[in-house]
Structure 1
């Protein structure tokens, strides 16, 4: 069954495949999106709001911690003030208290000026010789000892204790920072510091809640320290929300019902034991989820209609161009490489048609190039065969001249003709165009000996040869033209002559011959002219002939390289592949 369906689809035209593909790609998402879009959106929004709420609380807690740290540092200034300690512990039975009042009033007054958050600073003391001023200085009496915070501060050993929020005589909500004054070297407590702080300063740190969200600061027992609805201050948050204390934790989020609404709740703790609580109703963000799901559903319904129209248009455009390409491919198949595409665009099909057109042109060029090279190679072989006819006659003639020179006792003529005969005998190579590296070296040595007879002491030629390369195959007569060029064009001092080094070595899997001389060299213009002539594969002689033969036999990566500077000499590199005979 599956195989039949697969074969049916494969046999459909591309246009029908496009059409069916677009239709199914549009209809199927509608079903899935209709079923899952709302739940997915709901889940994502809950996770997003949860993360946002936790990040928000983290920032709020950081701000609150900094604010409380400011209050704590202000209390530490008082806690560590030795002058204040001395005034609070002084026996005023016989001494005047005026200096103490003046110092305390000035010191505490400056603290209030520098810290607007603090509404009052009071020190409770059991030094009854220092009279109470009912504002900055008060005595520890039985009413104070009955306060809940009194027992707590006594066991705090000088640490900061924060009290619950209450409404003061001015109708403002405040909370207290209390601290036992037992610092110094007197060895006993000398008072209790109480700093009264405006609750509004804490609320300003959380007063950024949306309409359907709530934020609270509560103490370790759940008593509300600060919130939007001031009537809830001092009330217990767990009773207001009708939840257990264990419900609120620092890990993750919780769901609760509050005032008939489902709420998402996040809670985080502060270092002093307080907690910050953030609540937001689900309806505040799920309403948007419902609207989003409805909007998405409408978009996809529209997409189905649009897909039907676009499918028809796009499939028509695509298949039309494919049909054009098929026709051009058949032309190439029949041997006609002159293909051309018009108005195919710049998409994948357009790029494919352009690439196919370029490929056809390249294929045509390569076929013509290979054909031309084969013709040139055959012509070169014919030239070599033609050249070998003359050496046969010349060799026989040289043998006769050598015999006559020997009869006439002319040793130099005999030696030169003998060497020349050996040179041509070896160069004939039984009609072959390739022979061993060792044969090429031997042929070169014959030529050099002939030239030494002519130039005598003006030639100083040395060989630097890698003997392991002797059995590799190379075209014949590739060194002689360059040595001849060095001798004929390089000698510019008849007394000094010329030094020529002939090198043979292997490099990167290739055979390299070098002919290096210290002759007259050439300037850049002349060198460039020679190199330009070498780049042509047309018929040529000497240096150009060697370069052309190498490239015809082995390819463009091989051939001749020439480097030269005027009055400094010339270096020629002949690069060949390593081929065994």
Structure 2
């Protein structure tokens, strides 16, 4: 069967993109315009509902901020020493004056608390005269006995937390002469032993709070705060404060007024002609409600309908032009890459593509240039490595020495010395032969610790012959570590360094102590000498960097510096957990420590 897309197969990529994208865009834009007109009503309502919900949440968060400030203010009163003395130690005019002077500035400068009533309860039934202040000065309030007869006290007693958020009506006359509705936080006042010794009422003016909460409200939206009983606590129209929700003008739209104000919010949400959103405060439990008329919002569809047709035509024309530009933008960088790849294919590694930008094409061009450069470098490295490998193999062949020839020669020297009765020379030759034998180790990189110690004994024997009266050494090895596998010649360079610095460059007697033991899951190999030591700065540099250059400089250009660097490199190469450390003090000596994690047998062991 012949494929129907065969004509597109032989077309240039730019024409393919135009042939596929332009019809698709025209159809997509047309369907989108129709679809947007059909669902615009729902989208507008959803957006308004979300905006309303955000507005309700924002108002609720602002209310929580004021409520939290009220709680913080009462907590401050609990901790205020002057208030504690007035409530607990006795209510005197001087103490009242001190409390008044300390609290009035806080109430005047703050925007939360406009009134405060404090009852100092002497026992469960009696109290002193109330302490009452407002932002304007000292005020008067009803007595504690009269307050206990109000429904607010009943609701406070019934509250599990002994806290109450409520609204005080002017007709209740709790704060004498105050004509404002008060949103109050009522709680027990406790002493430092957390025993209730009074009653505290912190109030906010409902009309002032309304202006703070709803100052940016739009004219089309109705906002108010209500409690679970359906009483309006704050509103965009302050005349609604204190009314049941069922008496608000919003219920006059259809004449269906609920009998129970507490169920009014549910009835409002069920109405199809309104968009209602609410959010509940986590602190007070009050509802932040936003209401908007749905019919006013749907009027926006008229503009959407006329705009959809115009936009569809314009977008179709722009789609044709943009498709041609996009196709050209996509194909031009690909053409550059294709031409460069053809040149690279025939071996031109100087190829580079110039694609400007930091988009996908720009990064593709950058990666392509990096790849070509990397391939060129790799080819050069492989060629250079091949030459170096051949040169190394040639040098290795030229420098090979037959161990049997070396041993036979040393044995001949040994027999000659014995025949001539020179026992010292015979012992030195035997020790040197053992050093060579253990160093070569049949070509193996790892040896047992016992073999390394044997090599050190022969090496120190030869050095003892060189410094008979100046060199003394001692070796202590945990017998359980004799079979521990380690890289050969790991300790010999450290012993050589100790001889160089404690014997050759120092006067007097040199002592070298070699030890191997277990400690806290680690195998420690130590070489200690009593040489002149090194400065602290140099020791820190060697332990921190460990580079061959730094150690060579520390060793004044001697071969010992390279040996220490070689030890560190071999430890990192062969072991996952191994460390090398130098401890030295001037005038006392130096200790070189090799630590290998117990159980780590090394990569090449």
TM-score norm. by structure 2 comes to 0.52
Match of 2:363 in 1: 351
| Structure 2, unaligned runs of 5 or more | 65-69, 71-112, 118-135, 138-148, 153-168, 182-204, 232-237, 241-246, 280-286, 553-557
Tell me, yes or no, if structure 1 residue 436 matches structure 2 residue 453: no
Q: Secondary structure at the match of 2:299?
A: helix
Match of 1:130 in 2: none
Match of 1:288 in 2: 300
Segment drifting more, 390-399 vs 351-360: 390-399
Preserved contact between residue 415 and residue 426 of structure 2 (Cα < 8 Å): yes
Question: Alpha-carbon deviation of 1:411?
Answer: 1.5
Match of 1:102 in 2: none
Deviation digits for residues 229-269 of structure 1 (CA, Å, limit 9, x no counterpart)? xxxxx999977843354698212635879xxxx6668999x
| Structure 1, unaligned runs of 5 or more | 74-112, 115-156, 161-175, 182-193, 228-233, 269-274
Q: Secondary structure at the match of 2:265?
A: coil
Question: Alpha-carbon deviation of 1:28?
Answer: 2.0
Question: Alpha-carbon deviation of 1:416?
Answer: 0.4
Match of 2:32 in 1: 32
Structure 1 residues 394 and 358: alpha-carbon distance in aligned structure 2, compared to 1, 3 A threshold = same
Structure 1 residues 468 and 357: alpha-carbon distance in aligned structure 2, compared to 1, 3 A threshold = farther
Question: Alpha-carbon deviation of 1:478?
Answer: 5.6
Counting only pairs closer than 5 Å after superposition, residues 10-409 of structure 1 correspond to structure 2 as 15=14, 19=18, 20=20, 24=24, 27-28=27-28, 30-36=30-36, 37-48=39-50, 51=53, 241-243=254-256, 245=258, 249-251=264-266, 253=268, 280-292=292-304, 294-295=306-307, 298-299=310-311, 301-329=313-341, 337-369=349-381, 372-373=384-385, 376=388, 379-380=391-392, 382-383=394-395, 385-389=397-401, 394-409=406-421
Question: Alpha-carbon deviation of 1:54?
Answer: 6.5
Q: Secondary structure at the match of 1:578?
A: coil
Segment drifting more, 51-60 vs 410-419: 51-60
Mapped to 2, the partners of 1:343 and 1:265 lie a distance apart of: 56
Deviation digits for residues 343-372 of structure 1 (CA, Å, limit 9, x no counterpart)? 342212222332333344344445544554
Question: Quick one: which of 467, 470, 489 aligns to 1:455?
Answer: 467
Mapped to 1, the partners of 2:230 and 2:375 lie a distance apart of: 86
Mapped to 2, the partners of 1:440 and 1:61 lie a distance apart of: 81
Match of 1:184 in 2: none
Mapped to 2, the partners of 1:480 and 1:314 lie a distance apart of: 71
Question: Quick one: which of 416, 432, 435 aligns to 2:428?
Answer: 416
Match of 1:571 in 2: 592
Mapped to 2, the partners of 1:276 and 1:455 lie a distance apart of: 97
Preserved contact between residue 41 and residue 289 of structure 1 (Cα < 8 Å): no
Mapped to 1, the partners of 2:61 and 2:258 lie a distance apart of: 24
Mapped to 2, the partners of 1:379 and 1:542 lie a distance apart of: 27
Q: Secondary structure at the match of 2:298?
A: helix
Deviation digits for residues 326-354 of structure 1 (CA, Å, limit 9, x no counterpart)? 44455666665444232342212222332
Q: Secondary structure at the match of 2:266?
A: coil
Mapped to 2, the partners of 1:61 and 1:358 lie a distance apart of: 60
Preserved contact between residue 41 and residue 298 of structure 2 (Cα < 8 Å): no
Q: Secondary structure at the match of 2:468?
A: helix
Tell me, yes or no, if structure 1 residue 495 matches structure 2 residue 497: no
Question: Alpha-carbon deviation of 1:405?
Answer: 1.9
Match of 1:191 in 2: none
Match of 2:140 in 1: none
Counting only pairs closer than 5 Å after superposition, residues 485-564 of structure 1 correspond to structure 2 as 485-491=497-503, 492-501=505-514, 517-520=529-532, 524=538, 531-532=548-549, 544=562
Question: Alpha-carbon deviation of 1:325?
Answer: 2.9
Structure 1 residues 515 and 359: alpha-carbon distance in aligned structure 2, compared to 1, 3 A threshold = farther
Mapped to 1, the partners of 2:592 and 2:418 lie a distance apart of: 40
Aligned pair count? 451
Structure 1 residues 481 and 388: alpha-carbon distance in aligned structure 2, compared to 1, 3 A threshold = farther
Preserved contact between residue 437 and residue 470 of structure 1 (Cα < 8 Å): yes
Question: Alpha-carbon deviation of 1:563?
Answer: 5.0
Question: Alpha-carbon deviation of 1:548?
Answer: 7.3
Deviation digits for residues 172-222 of structure 1 (CA, Å, limit 9, x no counterpart)? xxxx976799xxxxxxxxxxxx999899x99997999977778999x999x
Question: Alpha-carbon deviation of 1:413?
Answer: 0.9
Question: Alpha-carbon deviation of 1:418?
Answer: 1.6
Structure 1 residues 393 and 352: alpha-carbon distance in aligned structure 2, compared to 1, 3 A threshold = same
Structure 1 residues 178 and 254: alpha-carbon distance in aligned structure 2, compared to 1, 3 A threshold = same
Mapped to 1, the partners of 2:483 and 2:521 lie a distance apart of: 17
Deviation digits for residues 113-148 of structure 1 (CA, Å, limit 9, x no counterpart)? 99xxxxxxxxxxxxxxxxxxxxxxxxxxxxxxxxxx
Question: Alpha-carbon deviation of 1:578?
Answer: 1.7
